[in-house]
Every structure is written in structure tokens, then in C-alpha cells.
Structure 1
């Protein structure tokens, strides 16, 4: 590959990261840390409403089905803005863009907490997603653009923590805040990290000239197709299960719009000399393997964070705060494991590390595939810690695979695409699991119903025992008989749901372990060391 030289103004520093081994100033680390705080905040806000949804819907007088749009609106906006961050950073400069989008994110977060009805909440959540979504790929771009190769393993380790900790901590933090201070506090809390982010970026990054001509000359047709395709795909995935998929004209319409939008985006991208995001990166073997794995990792991260709170709330009867206390064990141990993984990634083939991580993460899901109605905090603790041990090995090495061999000019595009793919994987995973839960619950109810029937002597004995128990409490015989039937029916439904949750965890575990075969199609990669080693 040949490189062209460019003339720089007197006193100007060359663009791009410092050379390998170069000292990184405290200012640069401050900027990187602020960027990570932004990514954590943006990912956290995807799921922070889940544990408080019942309270929010009660205040806004909305149904459960209507309330699903509170999450969908944020995800649609976020998935649209992520591919646009490379363009926006070129136009406004990283410093101005990150400070501006964070300031707007804080304003819209405050408006979410002050929403007066469901349409206002959905509107503000969409605007919150448009501004917050940009912070996720910008954090990865900062690592690649501002840190020398020898320090990127550390930077990527911190970025990996934001991606894996936030889905685990979202329901926990949301549950605590809602219970102690009311649901609006889950939005107002954003001011703390948001102001720290603005201060860190303001201090850590230099001003860059605004290039509005790039905004006016951008591929707006491609951007329109991208927004239509990704937005429609997200609505299709998020709302499909509740509307019975292709039995709904609404869902069929959005499926068609998604196909038109995505095909239009690909076609316009190939016809432009300088597309707003470089889809040609998918032609690189390492990158396409990393993005496929990133989608599956998104499915695992968001899928497990979707299944476990539902199980604990529905079957175990846990409060949001109790659910948070279980889920936090999939997050907290990562703080201690990630630095160790970062050091290993410099010395060990990252495919081996990623395989180990996928085995642990997938294995933890398989451990949850054998729950019963009495499973709770004590029984779930070990599987949560195994999950926490596995996730850092996957997230850090995936970033190394994705960015290996990427030219500096394509770094923002690569960052946008890898993060977009992970979010899409999460949406696909939740859609699949929600559909699977419903289908498998019906299946197991039918199978159990065949065994538990009035002709079965064991069932008849149990009904007689329950009836006598109710009669002994002073209830008349007819009412007691009806209550016994309802009690048995509720036990059958509960067991069917437990078996369906087990099937869901088995599916996630199987997907994650199956990813190991995809992983080995990529090249051998090690994180760069201070000695200048890198990809092999």
C-alpha cells in the first residue's frame, strides 16, 4: 500500500494517533475517559426504563403494548445516528460534536423525566436516542484516533466494559433509582456523567475547524435510505412479536420498507466515490467475521439481560431492586477481569481468548437452561459470575479483530458499523427470544396439559387434596373445587413458562458457542505492544 504525503501548515501536528510507544498526555486520557463515560451512559439508557416501565406506564396512563414504543423509539433513533457519526465528526470535529450532542442528550433526558403523556415520552425518547447514540461509536473512534497502538488494548478494554457493564447495570440502577426517588430520576441522573463528559472533552480535545461544505455535499440519498432501512428494521424487530409478525399489515409494511431502505443504501454507497460510511469494509475478512460475532454478542448481551429479569419478576416474584441485585453480578466482576484480559491480548492469539470467552458466556447461559420455579439469587450467583468472566474476553478481542488492518481514514466508519451491528444483533436477539418464549410456553402448556388431566389418578388425587384444604378453611365445596382447578392450572402455566425460559437460555448459549466456528475464519491477531508488534 502506498501512502501520500501532505503539506501541513506551520506548527500543525499530523492527524491520527501518536506513534507506537509515544507518551500519552493526561489531557488525552481525560478525553478518552470522558468518551467512555458517554458510551456507558448511552448504552445504559437503552434498558434503564425496563425495570421502571410499570411505574412509567401508570403515570402516563398507557398500556403495556403502547409502552413498548418507549424503548423502540430510542433504539430506532440510536441505530440511525450511529452510522452518521463518522460524517458528523468530520463536519464539526470530534470536540464540538461530542460536546454538542451530549448537551442535547441532557436536555432531552430532562424532558423525558418531565413527559406528560405517552406521545411526549416517545418523542423525547427518540430525540434522546438521536443524540445519545452518537456517543457509542465516538468512544471507540477516540481510542483509535488519539491513542498509540501500544495503549489501544487498554483503551479497548475500557470500551468493552461500557458495552458489557451497561446492559447488566441498566436494570439494577433503574430499579434502585425508581424505588428510592421515583421513575423520573432515571433520566435526571444523566446530568452527572453528562457534565463530566462535557468537561473532559472540552479539556482533553483541541478545537477543529468546522467543515460545513462536507455536510452540504454529503450523500443525503444514501443517508435517507439508511435511515429508512435501519429504522424500519428496528420497528419490525421490536414490535413484531406483539403484533403477530406477518399476520399484521403494519409489520409487513415495515419489513418491506426495511428491505427497500437497506438495498437502496448499499446501491447508493457503491455508486459514490466518498459515501458517508464505508460499507466496503465488509469486504475484509477479519472485519466481516468481527461484525458477525458482534451481532451474536449483542444477541447474547441483550438477550440474557432480557430473559433473566422477566423470569425473576414473573416466576420468582422479585421486585426491581431484587432483580438488580441478581443481575449486577454479571457486571461488577468485569471491572477486575478486564485489565487482566487487556494484558493477555498483547501476548496471546486473540482467537484463543475469544474462544475461551464465548465458552464461558455460552456456558453460563446453558447453566440457566435448567432452572425451576424455586431458582433465585443463590442458585443464579455462580452462572452470573461465569458470565461476567466470559464477556470481557469476547468484547475486547472483537474490537481488536474489527480494527485490525483498518486504515486511519476508515476508523470512524469501522467504529460505526461494528457498534451498529451489535445493537442490531441485540434487537434481533430480543425479537427471537420474545417469539420463542411465547411459542414454547404454548408448546409446553399443551404437553403438560396432556399429562395433567382429569383422567390421571395423580391429578385427581392432587385436586382432592387441594379441595379438602380449601374446605378446611371454611370455603364451600363447589367453590373449593373451582379453586383447586385454578390452582392446578396456574401451576401448569408456571411450569410451562419456566421451561420456555430454559429453552430461551439454551438458544442463546447455543448461538454463542456456535460463534466459535465463525471466529476461526479470521486471521491471527494480537493487540499491539509497546515493542511495535501487532497483527500477525
Structure 2
């Protein structure tokens, strides 16, 4: 990445020679506050749109005459485009300047959101979702870059706290907002609602950031070979993860092909980045211990964050029979308490070793998943409330401190690269987590179903009594004796399947909990870090 490109003081990306990075003692202007707030709104909107279709997918598929398997591409298309554009953000910000690029990509995001709401068939929806992901994904790392480049060190803790909220609050609020909007106004409204934050974002950036000179020549000299390898590798890897479970993984030639292409792409990207003096994104940052540890834990956090947001709505819909709106009312408790705890965490992060805070957050998140590992078929809102609150209290401690670890000691010219890689890793971790949990859910359901089937022997007295009681109940409802006996057996089979799924969901949450708790030990491989206090240093 070039260290010689000079930008005006209002720009978000600067070289080490340009005296644009604010220092402690510098006053944060109203314009800067508006710009940073607008950036946060953009990141929240982009992350929200990953999850917002989940609650409404059944209605969308019905309207577009598509099957459940075909409909999975609606989410996959968005994720593929988003994961590809995040590493490109550093390059595009240098080429167009932060102001122009953020306003332009947001305007396109709103256009494609509108087209998603007006999609006339599955193919058009997939194309528009892909374009929506490509334009919206850039907003995630740009928000983090604005915090680092526009705020003085003593103010970055609260900036990182706000950024952390976009990453943890949006996945919790997505199903809630999507469920409410779909039920009240129909599924197209989940896309049209983007106009509200989108226009606020464009206005805030237009007011808060100075224009920068466009440098299109950087596109001519860009590392297009590395970009092509990156797009191939990350795109194919995301498709492999998102579609693997439904196609039975390596039993499918389609999945094998994408696994091979992803390997070629990622290896090609690493090799070209290592041999080029100025790659489009600086992969050498992974050589810094704190950055490596923080991004690895960010991937695990993404697995847990998106994995838990995947398991619980599925359980509530399949086992408890909740509507999208009812599911949203449960899930929102993993989000709302974060609004109250995040300012406290931001203040604490400048006084306490961030490894302690992050360990506490991982402990709370792990315990909350462990609380969900003992559900039964009657578990609902009342039983899940406290586990959601505990999860909400833990997540801010993790996200804020991992951001601090990632950006500690990063040179100004590498801040966009660090932000892109950190957020790319978290989103990739989310895809890996969902893929692993979907596979685990399927395999453990088969395992528990077989074990329960062995236990429920038709010759066992208890089983015979249960079948007889159910048969009499169906006879009482007007069924003939033979038909009543068949219905009784089907009811027993349904109970077995239900209970095997409940146990499989419990296994999924237990695995997430174990991984989170194990990460506490990994965290302590990093150096001691604190958020800079006024006039203080950030690392010790």
C-alpha cells in the first residue's frame, strides 16, 4: 500500500507525512462527530441487511415461487459480494476519497435495495442482493477507519464502542425488525426501510467530510492479479460454506469444485501480496502478534455471534412454532441491553487491561450459550430471556477490546487495510460458524434420533402403554381402529424427531460455549492494551 499519497486534511486516509491524524488535545468538531455518526449508521445498515431477510424468507420465497434450497442463494449472494468488497475498500478510498466513495456506494446501495423490494423472480432477487452486498459491504470497514482517522486517541474508545454496537446489535435486531416489517407491511418493506438511514448517511458524510481529489490512476496501477485471486478465493469459499450443508459437502461435485477454486484463489492472493511491494491490502499485518490474535478471535466471535443468531430463531420457529414477530421479540433481548452497557465498557477500557475485559466478555457469552444448551420442547420467551440478557452484556466487552487489539500500533497508512482485514475475518468467521452449526445440527439430529429409536422398543411395556393410550385418543376423535393405531405410531415418531432436534440444538449451543471459553486462553497470547485516556498511551 502506498505511503506517499497525500490527501487534504479533511480526508480519511493519510500518509505518515501528512499531518492530518488528530492528536490528543485537538477539539473534535461538530462536522467530525456528524461524519463518524453517519459512518456508524452505514455499518449498522450493512450488517443489519445480512440478517434481515431471514425472518421473511418464507414470504419472499412464496412470492417469487422458489424453493427453500433455491432461496438460500438470496443470502449467499449478499455474503459473497460483501466479503469480496471489504478488502477492496482501502483501495477505493484512496482512489475516490472517503467522502465521494461513501456517498456513491450508499446511493447505489439504496438503488439496489429498492430493486430487491421490486424483484419479479428469484434470479432478479439474487442479482440485486449481490449488488446490494457489493455496495453495502464497504460501509463496514469504512466506519472503523473513520474512527481511527478522524478522532483523537482519547476519543477513540467511545468511537470503537459505537462501531462495536453496529457489529453486535445489528445481528440481534435484524430478525426483530424484519419480522415486524414483514408482518405489518409485507416483505418488500425490509428493503425500502433502508432509505431512512441511507439518506441520513449521505447527508452526514456530505456535511462532515471534505472532498478529496480523485486519483483514478491508482486503478491503472492496482494489483489486479491479487484482486482477482482474492475475489475468486473469498467468493468461492463463501459459496462453499453457505451451500455445503444443503448439498452434503464433498458428496457434491459442485461443492468440491468451489472448495478447490477457493484454495487456488486464497493461495494466489497470499503469494501475489507477498511478492508485490504495494498490494491493494496489506496482508503483512497478520505478522503482528496482536493483530493476528485479535483477527483470529474476531473470526471465532463472528462464528459465535452469527451462529447463535442462526440457532435460536431456527429452534423457536421449528420447535416452539413462533412467528417471525414472536422470534424477534426474543432475539431483541440480545441487543437492547448493549445500548446501556457499551458506554460503561468504553470508559472501563481506558483503565483496565483489555485482556481482562475481553476474557470477562468471552466468559459471559460462553455462559449464555451454556444456558441455552439445556432447552426442551417447552422452552420459550420466559426461559430464554435471561440467557439473551447475559449474551448482550458480554458481547460489547469482546467487540470493543478486539477492535483495540487489532488497531494498536497500526501505522496511519495501514489503518484502512487493518480495518478491512479485521471486518473481513469476522464476517468470514460468521459464514464458517453457520456452516459448521448447520452440519452439526443435521448430524446430531440423526444421531439422537437413532439412539431414541433404539430406546423406544415396540416390545417395551412403557412404549406399548403409550401407543395404546394414543390409539384410544384417536379412536375417541372418530378414527377407525386401524387408522388410529397408524396415527399413534406417527405421533410417537413425531415426538422422537422433535426431541432429537431439541437435543441437537442443545449440542450446537454447547459447542459454541466450549469454543468461546477456550478462546480465553488464546487471548492472553496478546500484549497488554488499554484504550488511550486523555493524554495517555494506548499500549503498555
Instruction: Please indicate the TM-score interval, normalised by the length of the shorter structure.
Output: over 0.9
Residues 392-442 of structure 1 show CA distances to partners (whole Å, capped at 9, x for unaligned) of 000000000000000000000000000000000000000000000000000
Does 1:384 find its partner at 2:395?
no
Aligned counterparts of 1:267 and 1:9: Cα–Cα separation in 2: 34
SS in 2 for 1:346: coil
Residues 158-194 of structure 1 show CA distances to partners (whole Å, capped at 9, x for unaligned) of 0000000000000000000000000000000000000
1:241 alignment partner in structure 2: 245
What pairs up with 1:130-145 in 2 under 5 angstroms?
130-145=134-149
1:470 alignment partner in structure 2: 474
What pairs up with 1:405-420 in 2 under 5 angstroms?
405-420=409-424
2:354 aligned to which of 350, 357, 360: 350
Residues 230-280 of structure 1 show CA distances to partners (whole Å, capped at 9, x for unaligned) of 000000000000000000000000000000000000010011110000000
Contact 2:10 2:210 in 1 (8 A): no
1:436 aligned to which of 436, 440, 457: 440
Once the two structures are TM-superposed, the CA of residue 48 in structure 1 deviates from its matched residue by 0.4
SS in 2 for 1:261: helix
Aligned counterparts of 2:479 and 2:62: Cα–Cα separation in 1: 35
Aligned counterparts of 2:298 and 2:432: Cα–Cα separation in 1: 12
1:208 alignment partner in structure 2: 212
Once the two structures are TM-superposed, the CA of residue 11 in structure 1 deviates from its matched residue by 12
SS in 2 for 1:87: helix
Once the two structures are TM-superposed, the CA of residue 154 in structure 1 deviates from its matched residue by 0.5
Residues 422-465 of structure 1 show CA distances to partners (whole Å, capped at 9, x for unaligned) of 00000000000000000000000000000112011111100000
Once the two structures are TM-superposed, the CA of residue 473 in structure 1 deviates from its matched residue by 2.1
Runs of 4+ in 1 over 6 A off after TM superposition: 4-13
Contact 2:7 2:213 in 1 (8 A): no
1:282 alignment partner in structure 2: 286
Contact 2:21 2:152 in 1 (8 A): yes
Once the two structures are TM-superposed, the CA of residue 5 in structure 1 deviates from its matched residue by 11
2:203 alignment partner in structure 1: 199
What is the CA RMSD across the aligned residues, in angstroms?
1.5
1:171 aligned to which of 170, 175, 179: 175
Residues 192-214 of structure 1 show CA distances to partners (whole Å, capped at 9, x for unaligned) of 00000000000000000000111
What pairs up with 1:154-193 in 2 under 5 angstroms?
154-193=158-197
Does 1:292 find its partner at 2:286?
no
Once the two structures are TM-superposed, the CA of residue 469 in structure 1 deviates from its matched residue by 1.1
Once the two structures are TM-superposed, the CA of residue 533 in structure 1 deviates from its matched residue by 2.3
1:455 alignment partner in structure 2: 459
Does 1:258 find its partner at 2:241?
no
SS in 2 for 1:342: helix
Contact 1:233 1:254 in 2 (8 A): yes
Does 1:502 find its partner at 2:506?
yes
> How many positions carry a matched residue from both structures?
533
Aligned counterparts of 1:338 and 1:532: Cα–Cα separation in 2: 21
Aligned counterparts of 1:491 and 1:363: Cα–Cα separation in 2: 29
Give the 3 Å change call, closer, same or farther, for CA 414–380 of structure 1 in structure 2: same
1:231 alignment partner in structure 2: 235
2:330 alignment partner in structure 1: 326
Give the 3 Å change call, closer, same or farther, for CA 78–15 of structure 1 in structure 2: farther
Give the 3 Å change call, closer, same or farther, for CA 105–447 of structure 1 in structure 2: same
Residues 289-318 of structure 1 show CA distances to partners (whole Å, capped at 9, x for unaligned) of 000000000001100000000000000000
Residues 79-125 of structure 1 show CA distances to partners (whole Å, capped at 9, x for unaligned) of 00000000000000000000000000000000000000000000000
Aligned counterparts of 2:423 and 2:455: Cα–Cα separation in 1: 47
Aligned counterparts of 2:434 and 2:376: Cα–Cα separation in 1: 22
Does 1:95 find its partner at 2:99?
yes
Contact 1:35 1:201 in 2 (8 A): yes
Contact 1:16 1:408 in 2 (8 A): no
SS in 2 for 1:393: helix
> What residue ranges of structure 1 are gaps of 5+ in the alignment?
none
Once the two structures are TM-superposed, the CA of residue 22 in structure 1 deviates from its matched residue by 1.2
Give the TM-score, by structure 1 length.
Answer: 0.98
Aligned counterparts of 2:92 and 2:20: Cα–Cα separation in 1: 17
Once the two structures are TM-superposed, the CA of residue 475 in structure 1 deviates from its matched residue by 1.5
2:53 alignment partner in structure 1: 49
2:526 alignment partner in structure 1: 522
Aligned counterparts of 2:427 and 2:539: Cα–Cα separation in 1: 27
1:308 alignment partner in structure 2: 312
1:533 aligned to which of 531, 534, 537: 537
Once the two structures are TM-superposed, the CA of residue 471 in structure 1 deviates from its matched residue by 1.1
Aligned counterparts of 1:473 and 1:332: Cα–Cα separation in 2: 47
Aligned counterparts of 1:460 and 1:511: Cα–Cα separation in 2: 42
Give the TM-score, by structure 2 length.
Answer: 0.97
Aligned counterparts of 2:522 and 2:20: Cα–Cα separation in 1: 32
Aligned counterparts of 1:226 and 1:67: Cα–Cα separation in 2: 26
Aligned counterparts of 2:334 and 2:247: Cα–Cα separation in 1: 32
Aligned counterparts of 2:472 and 2:137: Cα–Cα separation in 1: 59
Once the two structures are TM-superposed, the CA of residue 21 in structure 1 deviates from its matched residue by 2.5
Once the two structures are TM-superposed, the CA of residue 20 in structure 1 deviates from its matched residue by 1.2
SS in 2 for 1:347: coil
